Amino acid sequence: MSFPFPAPGTTILVVDDERITRRVAYRVLSEEGYRVFEAASADEAMSVLEMAHHYIHLVILDVVMPLVDGVELGRQMLETWPSLRLLYMSAHPAQVLAQHGLANLDVLFLAKPFTHGEMLHKVTEALDRRRARRTSEPESTVEG
């Protein structure tokens, strides 16, 4: 399967409390030409976004994390930066995801463990959704 080469400077923030998942995601994405930031917690992710939100095109969030789960973190991010695109990921079954508030939501989701191709497919889908939304929004819309 072939994937479109990312636009120059396409940047993704990967948020996961598991270092191995962050490293795998970093490797897959950087090998395809994406710039990648990593965060191990909600606090780290918010700090990265406060410094670099103008450069981040997509945030990939683990749903189940200590202290603040990915769904709540995603809500906090969208309150501050409503134009952010989010891609949720988890290795947990649907009932656990529902307990964390990821039930009946129109969100993009990547199941862990994921293959190189699965991750790139979901990232491409998330970025394409962003482009589609941007072109359908009024020209006066200012991105956060």
- Give the pLDDT confidence of 4-46 residue by residue, as tens digits: 555 667 999 999 999 999 999 999 999 999 999 999 999 999 9
List, as one string, the DSSP characters of 118-142.
HHHHHHHHHHHHHHHHHHHS-TT--
Cα angle at 64 between 21 and 34, to 5 degrees?
40
- Tens-place pLDDT, residues 41-74: 999 999 999 999 999 999 999 988 888 888 899 9
pTM for this predicted structure: 0.80
Higher pLDDT, 108 or 35: 35
Classify domain 11-135 at the CATH topology level: Rossmann fold (3.40.50)
* pLDDT confidence of residue 143: 34
What residues contact 81, with CB distance under 8 A and at least 6 apart? 49, 53, 144
Would you state the pLDDT for residue 93? 53
Domain boundaries, the chain: 11-135
